[in-house]
Amino acid sequence: MTSTAPAGPQDPAHDTFSIRPARTPDVQRIVDLSQPLVERRVLVPKEKVAYFESLQEFQIAESDAGELIGFGALHVMWEDLAEVRTLATHDSWRGHGVGSALLRRLVQQAREIGVSRVFCLTFEVDFFTRHGFTVMEQQDAVPPEVYSELLRSHDEGVAEFLDLARVKPNTLGNTRMILHL
């Protein structure tokens, strides 16, 4: 996927970018791009090993010059449910379609693998609303038998979806949102 977007202020000579699956050499670049967002408490910190372990879930946005300008991941949680995780865009490319292109790719992947609902936990409510997400209501939860299965997961994203108290300190101020495909 190649998208035309205005160049960021740091790279005025390039105005397009592409989206592709992440590869192992991208991990350090993902860590580097995420670090300022972690410091601003926009992203939850992750160890580098966590990025390697979930690498196949990630898509990256890369400028024509080869600069990593954004990334995002789709994590399957249950047969009909996946989470958009760690969606981020380089500050100089924010507002230029990178996040939207990544989100479209992740939603497309969700459809292709048979997921009917996509969840996110975000501070960027307006962005996700523009893409069809709504604030999650009780009816968006899972049936009791699925809930008890999900409780067995050690995955923090599952705990966030279930709104478990143990993740509250890391998610204060975030909004749980969902998209029905």
Q: Which two tokens stand for residue 121?
A: 């936990």
Quote the pLDDT of residue 10: 47
The predicted pLDDT at position 68 comes to 97
The answer to whether the beta carbons of residues 63 and 13 sit under 8 Å apart is no
Percent of the chain with pLDDT over 90: 57
Predicted TM-score (pTM) of the model is 0.80
The region of weakest confidence among 18-22, 54-58, 78-82 is 78-82
pLDDT tens for 130-139 read: 999 999 876 5
Q: How far apart are CA 152 and CA 150, in angstroms?
A: 5
For residues 124 and 89, give the distance between their C-alpha atoms in angstroms, rounded to a whole number: 12
Going by pLDDT thresholds of 50, 70 and 90, the confidence category of residue 13 is very low
Residue-averaged pLDDT of the chain: 83
pLDDT of residue 153: 63
Question: Between 111 and 40, where is the model more confident?
Answer: 111
pLDDT: which is higher, 55 or 1? 55
DSSP character at residue 6:
P
pLDDT over 60 (residue 5): no
Q: What order do you get walking across the sheet with 68-78 strand by strand? A: 2-4, 16-21, 58-63, 68-78, 81-89, 117-122, 175-180, 134-135
> CA 59, CA 87: separation in Å to the nearest integer?
9
- In sequence order, the 6+-apart residues with CB closer than 8 A to the CB of 80 are 114, 115, 116, 117
